[in-house]
Chains A and B, each alone.
Chain A
């Protein structure tokens, strides 16, 4: 195993030069960008900035080549067979809305879509809107006391009328990882498709969507060390080919007359307008950067830090961890509630210690209702976090506990 050096990783992130005392534990919201990603974006904008697909001049050709190379890089990161299965979007929310229109509009009244009580609003609201448009039945898998999808309910909730199961790969609140194999097995048994919201999973390493056996995979760039404004919807070729476009405009057509339009093949059918070109180049650079990390050592490093958080929080009688208390099938996202301290007060006091946390409902209000909470405080780790971040977290926590007895 390659030796892992968190300090060396941290030095690759210019944000920590500007903020040397920053303890950034809000990575589930947005991760920071390494210099190689920033450089890739600047290099592209400096040397190859142009619109894609249409121009014949040299910059346009360079921009198109860079954009398509980014698509191939992301296909490789996801383990997708064909780069044309990768649709660039604005982010996870845009990706899921695309699926809800392109795939969802083909569903019939009475068809069922299954979501869960663990979802981010971005994998919940688009399906409610689809339900209302198409007269569908929307059902939800329940959440266990440990903050996991309750897959024991699969046989009851997923029926022969189920056309799609759309759930999170990793919870943005509890950190729980979904048992995808079990989910896919049930989906296949009834002929349903599976969509995973992978926003919290992709920053932690390359995937194998073929092995996962899912049909759709959605994620954002900004949570995996890439710029804002780019995301991906991956879907199987035959699924994409069956989907109608979501947004109309330039780039997504084959031919247009005043009366009618024929559409381009996927993925361009779903990329109306000028796409986020430099952002896609940055996303590809981020994918290369993550893939170059020693995966096993990174995983061990993050598991150790997550264990420190869970152990330190778990021994405090005023703290209730919202999520798995162990390291099994969980990612480094740790949410908790403290008796007598509101999440925003805690985050404010933590900020005074240089610790960046997230407090609130995390765009997961049904999950908050499940635990009878208005919100939680969340610490989420990335590869550049270290022992000093954890120490600062607990120093800030002690301060807050003392102020609000």
Chain B
């Protein structure tokens, strides 16, 4: 149901995701585009002792794209690049029909399972992160 997609948690996270939180001096940066809709996410990563000390972003996209970006930035803090990259699996699981329930906060995207055209909105930030860490 469409009603479920735009839960308060997603709208709230999207508000954070809509802010320009690019880092002034990132160690790594990458941008991912969705050519179908024109959405674009840039991820900046600052590393300290092999762990993510800060994850900055600018997400020009829909509420799903922006909410996922905000959640990613919050979840990646303190993780190693490998641990952060593995978060993509959880987000993917959240939007994949028939998959087991995803862990919080990614489970808020479960209603997207019914809307294949919106799944890439949730995973675009992870593409940018993967490029940045790659």
Q: Are B62 and A342 in contact (CB under 8 A)?
A: yes
The digit string for A30-56, where 1 denotes a CB below 8 A from any CB of B, is 000000000000000000000000000
B79 at the A interface (CB under 8 A): no
A344 at the B interface (CB under 8 A): yes
Taking Cβ atoms with an 8 Å cutoff, the residues of B that contact A are 1-3, 5-6, 11, 36-40, 60-65, 115, 118, 121
Q: Are B38 and A352 in contact (CB under 8 A)?
A: no
Chain A contributes a number of interface residues (CB within 8 A of B) equal to 17
Given the known interface contacts A342-B61, A348-B2, A404-B11, the answer about A361 and B115 at a Cβ–Cβ threshold of 8 Å is no
A366 at the B interface (CB under 8 A): no
The digit string for A361-405, where 1 denotes a CB below 8 A from any CB of B, is 100010010000011000000000000000000000000000110
The digit string for A336-359, where 1 denotes a CB below 8 A from any CB of B, is 000000111100110110000001
Q: Are A342 and B63 in contact (CB under 8 A)?
A: yes
Contacts of B39 in A (CB 8 A): 374
In the assembled complex, the Cα of A361 lies from the Cα of B37 at a distance in Å of 7
Taking Cβ atoms with an 8 Å cutoff, the residues of A that contact B are 342-345, 348-349, 351-352, 359-361, 365, 368, 374-375, 403-404
In the assembled complex, the Cα of A317 lies from the Cα of B36 at a distance in Å of 29
Given the known interface contacts A348-B2, A348-B118, A352-B3, the answer about A374 and B40 at a Cβ–Cβ threshold of 8 Å is yes
Q: Are B38 and A361 in contact (CB under 8 A)?
A: yes
Contacts of B63 in A (CB 8 A): 342, 345, 404
In the assembled complex, the Cα of A352 lies from the Cα of B114 at a distance in Å of 13
Task: Tell me the minimal C-beta distance from A191 to chain B in angstroms.
Answer: 38
Contacts of A403 in B (CB 8 A): 6, 11
* Cβ-neighbour of B5 out of A342, A348, A375 (below 8 A): A348
In the assembled complex, the Cα of A374 lies from the Cα of B38 at a distance in Å of 6
CB-defined A-B contacts under 8 Å, sample of 25: A342-B61, A342-B62, A342-B63, A343-B37, A343-B62, A344-B37, A345-B63, A348-B5, A348-B118, A349-B2, A349-B6, A352-B1, A360-B36, A360-B38, A361-B38, A365-B38, A368-B38, A374-B37, A374-B38, A374-B60, A374-B61, A375-B37, A375-B38, A403-B6, A404-B11
In the assembled complex, the Cα of A316 lies from the Cα of B50 at a distance in Å of 50
In the assembled complex, the Cα of A368 lies from the Cα of B39 at a distance in Å of 13
In the assembled complex, the Cα of A352 lies from the Cα of B11 at a distance in Å of 17
Max count, chain B CB within 10 A of own CB: residue among A345, A361, A404: A345
Contacts of A361 in B (CB 8 A): 37-38
In the assembled complex, the Cα of A361 lies from the Cα of B5 at a distance in Å of 23
Max count, chain B CB within 10 A of own CB: residue among A351, A365, A368, A374: A374
Task: Tell me the minimal C-beta distance from A401 to chain B in angstroms.
Answer: 12
If A343-B37, A344-B118, A351-B2 are given as contacts, then 15 extra A-B residue pairs at C-beta distance below 8 Å, sorted by A number, are: A342-B62, A342-B63, A343-B62, A344-B62, A345-B6, A345-B62, A348-B115, A349-B6, A359-B37, A365-B38, A374-B39, A374-B60, A374-B61, A403-B11, A404-B11
